[in-house]
Amino acid sequence: MMLHMSSLGLEEMSFGILIPKSPIFVGEKWTSVKPTRRRFRVLSVGQPCHTGKIVSENCLTVEDEDDAVSFRTITTYAKGIGPIRYEYYRKSTKAARPIQIVELLSYHLDPL
């Protein structure tokens, strides 16, 4: 993963995905256009979340619509850990149930 800091925020270079600067607010939107058009929207900020044994009191949930693959992804990030849950939906339908869920089972943080 290659990251680049710009005036807009942190950009993941290989996928052209922009990670906006803090503070971030519910309803905030942005678009990344490299290599394909993807629209992002913040669904929740600072809320508790959990997946399996992982529990966090401060999470961020972001919706990502990718036109190239016709998927909508909802990603939950736990502060200090990173992404802990991905829910994948077909964009062509507004189905309430994801077609796939990927969850982080465990993690290890090295002390500084």
Residue 109's pLDDT is 75
Two tokens, residue 74: 């909802």
Two tokens, residue 55: 């529990």
Of residues 1, 80, 61, 18, the one with CA closest to residue 9: 18
Report yes or no on 70 lying in a domain: yes
Place of tokens 């909508």: 72
Report yes or no on 13 lying in a domain: no
- Quote the pTM value: 0.82
Q: How many residues does the chain have?
A: 112
Count: domains in the chain: 1
Q: For 23-79, write each residue's pLDDT tens digit.
A: 889 999 988 777 678 898 999 999 999 998 899 999 999 999 988 888 899 999 898
Q: Which domain holds residue 50?
A: 25-103
pLDDT over 90, % of the chain: 39
